[in-house]
Amino acid sequence: MLECALFLASRGHEIDVFAHDYDPDEASGLRFHYVPMRQQPFFLRDQSFFRECTRRLDPGAYDVMGTFGSVCPVGGVHFVQSVHSAWLERSRTLRAPLSAARIGQRLNPLHRVLLDLEEYHFRQHRYRKVIATTPQIRDDLKRFYGVPEEDIVIIPNGFSPSEFSPERREARRSEARAHLGLRPENVVLLFAANELERKGYGTILSALRRLRRPEVRLLVVGKPDVSLVRRQAAQAGVGDQVIACGPTRDVALYHAASDLFVLPTQYEAYCLAILEALGSGLPVVTTRVPGAQDAIQVGVNGALIDDPRSGDQLAAALEPLLEEGPRAALSAAAPGTARQYQWPVVLKRYEQLLLDCRN
């Protein structure tokens, strides 16, 4: 959202942003309106933001509204990065009916809140236009909520080419690898995610065990607790190959240290992390699921596996890329395949759609 707002402001548009959190240092040229949001109970946070934002916003004061997610007020050009109904359907196929995860999912009231918000926005056509980041999201909107195809425009997510580029990665490589204690012979895999189970951490551990390549290292970057990351790695017998890095605001540093990006995800609406990796020149090994596979050209910039739970499939996909020659060819091609997803390209399309939808 911030990237969009800053871009539009730089093009001379007057931009008001209604949000709960923002960093004034990153938001020059924008007018911010603080929206309070109750913190407890946790499952009403999104609903409270929706109500407070709707109460404070006067749509008639603006030429057009851009809204991000179903927690936003109705009536705008609605940007959709995921359909919660689709994720729930997918997750049910990956979890045993009586598993703790499946039971916990059924009992979690947050899912009901998010489904109700989606229903309110889309079933009643309470939008000016809908932006889907992928063809799969377009199809999910049509299937679950009957959104007419003519109401949907596909505009992908984007990434910053100034932050994620092969030149920047190479310039920081020595510093990054030294910072992490990596040796020249280490082949480094990067797993950047805020969820372990859904994003396939267990599958990566299984693949590492099967590969039997002691020079390989795995960087785990994101919100998951570092002690949990280390404990699961130790239980899998590969604890000495895993470096738990924790959360960061500088994921490009870890791109610089790495040789491959690995994400055997179970479900992906649209994966910005994959675009950033490709932009940095990292070949990507991920899952043949919508959202993850969209930017991958097999044998050109990466590889795909069919089963996100198969350590055997992932090990087979990774093994040839542990050699410098095959990996270098994919690394050289990766940035070119990601060029269409750079923010300046993507945001010009978004700007034009907003202009077309003015009151």
* CATH fold of the domain at 2-158+343-356: Rossmann fold (3.40.50)
Residue 297 sits at φ, ψ, to 5 deg, of: -110, 105
* CATH fold of the domain at 166-340: Rossmann fold (3.40.50)
Count of other CB atoms within 10 angstroms of residue 136: 21
| Per-residue pLDDT tens digits for 141-173 | 999 999 999 999 999 989 999 999 999 999 999
| Per-residue pLDDT tens digits for 224-272 | 999 999 999 999 999 999 999 999 999 999 999 999 999 999 887 778 8
| Per-residue pLDDT tens digits for 86-136 | 878 877 776 667 677 766 677 778 888 888 888 988 988 889 999 999 898
Q: Where are the domains of the chain?
A: 2-158+343-356, 166-340
Residue 58 pLDDT > 90? no
Predicted confidence at residue 45, as pLDDT, reads: 81
Burial 64-93 (b: 16+ CB within 10 A, else e): bbbbbbbbbbbbbbbbbbbbbbbbbebbee
Query: Are domains 2-158+343-356 and 166-340 of this chain identical in fold?
Result: yes
Residue 283 sits at φ, ψ, to 5 deg, of: -60, 150
Q: Tell me the mean pLDDT in the region 7-15.
A: 92
Predicted confidence at residue 243, as pLDDT, reads: 98
CA distances 181 to 53, 93, 186, 273, Å, are 47, 40, 10, 24
Residue 25 pLDDT > 80? no
Q: Tell me the three state secondary structure of residue 76.
A: coil
Q: Which two tokens stand for residue 133?
A: 């980041």
